[in-house]
Structure 1
Amino acid sequence: MFAGTAYGIALNDGAQLSALDPAFHEKPYGQPPRAPVLYVKSGPGIVRGGAAIAVPQGADGLVLGATIALQRTVTGFGAARLALDLAVPHQSFFRPAIAELGRDGLLAVGDAGVVPAALDDLEIVTTVNGAEVHRWNLSRLHRDVRTAIADVTAYMSLLPGDMLLAGVAGDAPIGRAGDRIEIAANGLAGLTVTLGAAEGGRP
């Protein structure tokens, strides 16, 4: 159990943001987002690597948002972890539903380590049941990690123990009940979870 809170940044994949640009100029958006679009995952709902995570009832699967979490320490953002930011698949980003992005138990984090020196060029690889299904590089971020930290902390305070999730790839794969998920990146401890049967029934 984590005492802090995790804040995720939606729409921080530059390619995804560009693809959605026409939709942003229509209702209800009117224009692209100018500030980071945040959602919250509370500390008690964050799990560690090795956990079995239940696919919510009614969902066919979960978006496997492999990313990096920068953790606030007393002196700054001095620690980093691999994170698997899971979400119920969704299309709209207008006031994202808690059930899609913020449900308890849908964030897994690996062991903390030092922030990689080549953070802006970090490549994160996702495998499902031993087969690579996705890899992406943090150079795709619309706001790089340090810019995201500066933009978020300009209007809100993150406390020691809190984490900022850098963002997930717009083309992140879908995992389903029974899958074993592993994510890896150079310089950080790997992270493994399994997806279990849907709550209250079969997958």
Structure 2
Amino acid sequence: MSSRHTQFMPTGTVYGTLLNFRDEFDALAPQMSAPPYKAPPQAPVLYVKTANTWSPHDAAIAVPADVPAVEVGASIGMVVGADGDIEGFVPMNDLSVPHASFFRPPVKFKCLDGFLGIGPALRDAQEVADPAGFRMEVRINGELKQTLDFATLVRPARQLLADVGEFMTLAHGDVLMLGCGAGRPLAHVGDRIEISAPGFETLVNTLVGEGA
């Protein structure tokens, strides 16, 4: 079921996952233990990237004039199959306006038009021996800014899928992102963002000023 010659776009709902990289979880652990929460979350923390945010590979993404920089949230999305298992994987660029709270991410910061770059092609799950082997690099204007090791997930791919299934039903075509690590790089208007990982086609998006 390889889709390497056709731009992949979701057919269902896209969900992001917070606090699923160990470095991000550890960095926010002191805040999780403070009021009002007083303890880390016991279930996965999700948010929705609504359809207005979806941008295909090689698309220009418009940044509002009052946003000086955006955070690049490199991730890999799991696409849910008809049997409820994983159909495939796709790289994603989960952009957001920098904000202080990661516990209840405001829609206005994460769901701006075009703020989710979606990889050019779906990688069939049957090609993947273990998603923990994924390694991802983020380059801005050709300069390496971040590396992600998916062996450091709090909940590995299949565990995340199972744990989410305990409290909600995912449909065929839904996409569940594995998460974004800490230290997300900032990008600005004019920047070219490349998100690459062995076995995947590179996702490229360029930031432009709104109205450009």
TM normalised by structure 2 equals 0.88
Match of 1:103 in 2: 112
- Cα distance in 1 between the residues matched to 2:193 and 2:39: 36
State how 1:2-17 maps to structure 2 within 5 Å: 2-17=10-25
Aligned in 2, Cα 1:45/1:101: closer, same or farther, shift over 3 Å? closer
- Cα distance in 2 between the residues matched to 1:179 and 1:48: 17
Match of 1:42 in 2: 50
Q: Aligned letter for 1:74?
A: A
Q: Aligned letter for 1:114?
A: D
**1:189 alignment partner, one of 189, 198, 201:** 201
Amino-acid identity (%): 37
Q: CA RMSD in A?
A: 1.6
* Greater mean deviation of Cα atoms: 145-154 or 53-62: 53-62
**1:65 alignment partner, one of 59, 69, 73:** 73
- Cα distance in 1 between the residues matched to 2:32 and 2:89: 32
**1:26 alignment partner, one of 23, 31, 34:** 34
1:31, distance to aligned residue in structure 2 (A): 1.3
CA contact (8 A) 1:29 1:94 kept: no
- Cα distance in 1 between the residues matched to 2:82 and 2:54: 21
1:118, distance to aligned residue in structure 2 (A): 3.3
State how 1:101-180 maps to structure 2 within 5 Å: 101-110=110-119, 111-115=121-125, 116-180=128-192
Runs (5+) with no aligned partner, structure 1? none
Q: Is 1:87 equivalent to 2:99 in the alignment?
A: no
CA contact (8 A) 2:58 2:206 kept: yes
Q: Aligned letter for 2:21?
A: D
Deviations 1:95-135 (A, max 9, x none): 21101223332111111111332310211011111111111
TM normalised by structure 1 equals 0.92
Match of 2:3 in 1: none
- Cα distance in 1 between the residues matched to 2:82 and 2:52: 21
Count residues in correspondence: 200
Match of 2:4 in 1: none
CA contact (8 A) 2:62 2:211 kept: no
Runs (5+) with no aligned partner, structure 2? 1-8
- Cα distance in 1 between the residues matched to 2:136 and 2:190: 22
* Greater mean deviation of Cα atoms: 164-173 or 17-26: 17-26
- Cα distance in 1 between the residues matched to 2:155 and 2:138: 22
